[in-house]
Structure 1
Amino acid sequence: MADGAAAVVKRWIGFTVFLALVALAVAAMMFRQEISDHVAGMNYDMTQRVSSLTADLELTDAGQRVFLATHPTVDGSQHFNEQCADVDHSEQGHVLGCYTSDRIHLFDVTDERVSGVVEITAAHELLHAVFHRLGEGDRSLLAARLRDVYEEIAPTHPQLHERMSVYEHLPDSAFANELHSVLGTEVRDLPEWLEQHYAQWFSNRAALVDDFETYLTVFNDLQSQVDALQTEMAALREDVEERKSTYVDAVEAFNADASAYTSRIERDDYRDDPERLQRDADALQQRRAAIDAELAALQADIDTYNALRDELEALGELSAELDEHLDSDLAPITTRPNE
């Protein structure tokens, strides 16, 4: 009897162990990506630069797990270009980051005037990694919903429409992949379901959008100043040209009348009418004063125009300087330490 009970217990234990192994196998299958990411992150030697960047991104545990699993690099040298050499460069602007072969590479931009661009780029590339980790069915479903959101908000977000226009040539899945990253980092107001989706990876997505808008404002303000200066200069140039033509005509007419006045004096035409002599002299003097005043006004406006031109050139130099900081092609050849 005792032997039978022991056998039952053994069979029960064996069955329980079998169920546990099956459960572990199922769990391993269900969470294999999470497990793989966790292991990959454990094998990643994080630099101080990446550690600081990770903190600035305010990632959730899931977001940090995926980010570290991609072994992110932050490099301000030509080595970055080698890492991202296979990236499609058809997108407008400079390549500041890439996600390739399940690795994130970021160009190190340190100019405080464009602060936040590395964080925005890192978040953008992280969302590519997230999209890549979705199952095919989940990606297809998400792609369709993202396209619906885009078509709904694009008419009231012209910048978003312009931003995404460079991706319109891509297949639907690739377009959705880019849209997934752009919406998550650049658009503030999104449907609640999409906010909840991004909340899986970012605990403070609004801060990312703040960084993006701050970064964008730098260049938008520069462009606004350039546009305003060019408009003012065009109006001033047109006004000066018109007045210059009128001034030249006035000078020619004055010179002709002054010459006629001199001839009348030489012919002694004013001998019997000294009052007329004085009137003609006074009239010529007033015209001369008006011409001199207009010349001074024209010169002042020309000086103003030249000052505006100098200001425009300074803005152009500033824009070029900022652009250089974002251009990895101009980076040093040697790898800059990113500790």
Structure 2
Amino acid sequence: MAGTVGKRVAQGVAVALVVAVAAGGLIAYTYRGEIRDHFLASSFEPTQRVNQIRDEIELSATGDRVFLASQPTIGGRDEFNRWCAGVDHTEEGHVLGCFAERRIRLFEVTDQRLTGVVETTAAHELLHAAWSRMSQEERAELADTLVAEYDARAATDAEFSQRMSVYESLSRSAFANELHSVFGTEVRDLSPELEQHYAKWFEDRSVIVDWYDGYHGVFVELKAEAERLSAELEELRSDIEDRSATYDVAVQQFNADAAEFRERNERYEFSGNKQLFDTLRGELLARQEGLDAVRQEIQAETDRFNALREELVKLNDVSVELNDVLDSTFTPPSSPVEQA
């Protein structure tokens, strides 16, 4: 009897062990992505710059794990173009980061006028990494939410619609993927459903949008100032042309009247009538002074026009310079070789 009882107990333990192993395998399979990310993140040694970005974009525990598991690296043009060689560069705008081969690659921008570019790009690529970790069902459900949000916003926000037009050739799923990253990093006010979603990755998403607004605002201000100057130049140009045309007609009439006065004087028409001579001569001199004053005013307007045009040229130079800074494919011109 004792042997029988012992055998039964042993069988019960075996069954329990099988159930435990099966349950453990199910848990491991269900959370295999998180487990993989945990080990990748734990084994990755981030640089000081990467750690700085982690602090600045205020990631949640989940966001930080995915970010580190994506082994983010930051480099200059040569490195970045090698890392992201497979990324499509044909679309408008600049390629500042990529998520390729499950790794986040970032283009380093050190210009202080564009502080926030790398931070925003890091968050953008993190959300691509997050998207890649979702199931097909999760992506499809989230895509519906994202596209609905986009359709509602695009109906009243032409600027945002233009922003997303660079992705218009993508499939619906790929477009939703880009929306996921753009909404999360560039748009301040979103639906509660999306805000709750992004809270999985960021402690405070508004920090990311602040970074974006900071550097994006530089270009917005440049554009606004350029448009203001252009409008002022156009108005000034039109005024100068109108006043110049009127001035030219007045000068021609003055020259004709002055010539006529000289001819009359040469014919001695004013002999014995000094008062008429003085009156006509005074009128001509007054007209001449008036015309000279108008000429000086037109010259002053012309000088202002040239100064404003030079200001606009400088603004354009700054815009070109900043765009070159952001252009990861840009090759700076080599310095001329000095002749001995």
SS in 2 for 1:330: coil
- Other-structure match for 2:225: 225
Alignment partners' CA distance in 1, 2:123 and 2:153: 22
Q: Do 1:60 and 1:201's aligned partners in 2 also have CA atoms closer than 8 Å? A: yes
* Aligned residue number for residue 136 of structure 2: 136
Q: Could you tell me the TM-score, scaled by structure 2's length?
A: 0.94
Give the match for residue 198 of structure 2: 198
Where structure 2 has 5 or more consecutive residues not aligned to the other structure, the ranges are: 333-340
State the shift of 1:331 in Å.
6.0
Q: Tell which has more relative contact order, 1 or 2 (C-alpha 8 A, sep 6+).
A: 1
Query: Could you tell me which residue of structure 2 aligns to residue 112 of structure 1?
Result: 112
Q: Indicate the residue corresponding to 2:79 in structure 1.
A: 79
In the TM superposition, 1:25-104 aligns within 5 A as 25-104=25-104
CA distance in 1, matches of 2:329, 2:140: 36
Q: CA deviation at 1:4?
A: 4.3
Per the alignment, in what secondary structure is the counterpart of residue 106 of structure 1?
Answer: strand
Q: Residues 78 and 331 of structure 1 are in contact (CA less than 8 Å); yes or no, is this contact kept in structure 2?
A: no
Superposed CA deviations along residues 115-135 of structure 1, whole A, max 9, x for unmatched, are 111111111111111111111
Q: CA deviation at 1:54?
A: 1.1
Cα offset, 1:14, TM superposition: 2.4
Cα pair 1:58 1:203 within 8 Å, conserved:
yes
Deviation at 1:22, TM superposition (A): 1.2
Indicate the SS of the match to 2:257.
helix
Which amino acid in 1 is paired with 2:274?
P
Shift of residue 213 of structure 1? 1.5
Instruction: Name the counterpart of 2:174.
Output: 174
Q: Cα 1:41–1:145, aligned 2, differ >3 Å: closer, same or farther? A: same
Looking at structure 1, the residues matched to 77 and 220 of structure 2 have their Cα atoms a distance apart, in angstroms, of: 27
Correspondence 1:12 to 2:9:
no
Q: Which amino acid aligns with 2:98?
A: C
Which residue in the other structure is 1:239 paired with?
239
Distance in 2, matches of 1:318 and 1:258, equals 52
Q: Percent identity among equivalent residues?
A: 45
Cα pair 1:50 1:72 within 8 Å, conserved:
yes
> How many residues are aligned here?
333
- CA distances 1:134-178 after superposition (whole Å, capped 9, x unpaired): 111111111122111211222122222111122121111111111
Distance 1:160 1:245 in 2: 45
| 1:271 corresponds to | 271
Mapped partners of 2:35, 2:91: distance in 1: 34
CA distance in structure 2 between the partners assigned to 1:89 and 1:291 by the alignment: 59
Measured against aligned partners, the alpha-carbon deviations of 1:255-280 in whole angstroms (never above 9, x if no partner) come to: 11111111111111111321111110
Does the Cα contact within 8 Å between 1:70 and 1:103 map onto a contact in 2? yes
Listed one character per residue, the Cα deviations across residues 292-324 of structure 1 (whole Å, up to 9, x for unaligned) are 100110110011001101111111111112112
2:274 counterpart of 1:290: no
Structure 1 window deviating more from structure 2 (135-144 vs 196-205): it is 135-144
The CA distance in 1 between the partners of 2:326 and 2:76, in whole Å, is: 10
The gaps in structure 1 that reach 5 residues or longer are 333-339
Alignment map for 1:318-329 (pairs within 5 Å): 318-329=318-329
| SS, match of residue 77 in structure 2 | coil
Query: What is the alpha-carbon distance in structure 2 between the residues aligned to residue 77 and residue 220 of structure 1?
Result: 25
Preserved contact between residue 76 and residue 331 of structure 1 (Cα < 8 Å): no
- Residue equivalent to 1:336: none
Query: Counterparts of 1:138 and 1:268 in 2: how far apart (Å)?
Result: 104
1:250 aligns with 2:250: yes
TM superposition score normalised by structure 1: 0.94
